[in-house]
A and B are shown apart, each in its own frame.
Chain A
Amino acid sequence: MKVTVFVSPKTTVLDPQGAAVEQAIKSLGHHSIEGVRVGKTVTFEMEGSDTPEIRDEIDRLCDGLLSNPVIEDYRYEITSE
């Protein structure tokens, strides 16, 4: 199965990259856009199927390595492909 992890800066944490991108978007004339946040995507293949144990393992990975809970949130999607 394929796992896609989305890591994003917490809404309470300043996101300088998001702010810079938002400025660029506005300078292109898109004034109706705001709240830009820049995160990252991590994808990997994993053996097994979508079970609570597998989700525990992915959560542990996300909480320790792939994201820093002080500054980031994460969510992930599991697809069988």
Chain B
Amino acid sequence: MKVAIIQFPGSNCDWDAEHSVEDVIGLPAGRVWHKDSLPDGTEAVIVPGGFSFGDYLRCGAIARFSPIMKDLQRFADQGGQVLGICNGFQILCESGLLPGALVRNDCMEFRCLNQGLKVEESNDRFNSKILGDNLSLPIAHGEGNYRASDEVVAELETNKQILLRYMPNPNGSINDIAGIRNNAGNVYGMMPHPERAVEDHHPCLDGLPVLKAFLQPLLNSSPVELSA
């Protein structure tokens, strides 16, 4: 397996993530239990959505201490590609692999809809030339309100670490932030669900280019071509 998808108790987007990577995109993928080690040869890791450990204490707070997280930290430190989706994003923030935290939506409601997003010019993989100016992706979360100190938010803006912004903002997230990456450019996190937008029976197909952009180092040694 090239793409490891971590399965925590309460993960529920793990199968969708595997299906989208293996069956739709065509890269070998597999699910890895949170108490196991990352398999040798892993080239990318997806931390999927769900409600790991029932979201008890805080979303992602308990998953952060799962045995596999030490492997994931090492993998990320060595430049391995990591993507956290929804609860996976919350886990990456709790573990410190990404800055900031996700708190309760300001509307106090669970938001489940096809969400408009603006693509930011982040790096050579995530930008409007590759993904288009705007995307529509499913969101489904109660705690997607991104928060960080003023200094951290200023750094994210200066370093172009913001991948996607909500349009309009469904949860009160600061600066409309829907997804970010680390400064090194190998750890990505987003609240929207690209794995739920990859097939014709899905509300849209915008998740496909987003997943491909993340997996680009595995798909092709040269940057993804701009589609005609």
Q: Which residue from A14, A65, A71 sits with its C-beta under 8 Å from B106?
A: A14
CB within 8 Å of A: which of B145-160? 145, 147-149
A16, B108: Cβ atoms under 8 Å?
yes
- Most chain B CB inside 10 Å of its own CB: which residue of A64, A65, A71: A71
Q: How far is the CB of A19 from chain B (nearest CB, A)?
A: 8
Question: A19 to B65, alpha carbons, bound, how many Å?
Answer: 31
A12 to B147, CA, bound (A): 10
Instruction: Contact check, B108 vs A68: say whether CB atoms are below 8 A apart.
Output: no
Asked if A20 is at the interface (CB within 8 A of a chain B CB), the reply is yes
Question: CB-defined interface of B75-116 with A at 8 Å, one 1/0 digit per residue?
Answer: 000000000000000000110000111011111100000000
Closest chain B CB from A20 CB (angstroms): 5
Residues of A within 8 A of B93 (CB): 70
In the complex, what residues of A have CB within 8 A of residue B99's CB? 70
Tell me whether A33 is interfacial, beta carbon within 8 Å.
no
Could you say which interface size class chain A belongs to?
10 to 19
Question: In the complex, which residues of chain B have a beta carbon less than 8 angstroms from the beta carbon of A9?
Answer: 103
A to B contact number (C-beta, < 8 Å): 41
> Given A14-B172, A16-B172, are A71 and B61 also a contact pair (CB < 8 Å)?
no
Task: Determine the distance from Cα of A16 to Cα of B106 in the docked complex, in whole angstroms.
Answer: 5
Among the listed A19, A20, A64, A70, which residue makes an inter-chain contact with B148, where contact means beta carbons less than 8 Å apart?
A70
B19 at the A interface (CB under 8 A) = no
Is B184 part of the contact surface with A, judged by Cβ < 8 Å? no
B57 and A65: CB pair below 8 A? yes
Q: Which residue of A lies closest to B109 (CB)?
A: A16
Chain A nearest Cβ from B39, distance in angstroms: 27
**Interchain CB contact under 8 A, B58 and A14:** no
Point out the residue from A14, A20, A65 that lies within 8 Å of B145, measured CB to CB: A14
Contact A70 B108 (CB under 8 A): no
The answer to whether B145 touches A16 (Cβ under 8 A) is yes
Q: Which residues of A contact B (CB under 8 A)?
A: 9, 12-14, 16-17, 19-20, 64-66, 68, 70-71
Chain B residues packing against A (C-beta within 8 Å) = 57-58, 61-62, 65, 93-94, 99-101, 103-108, 145, 147-149, 172
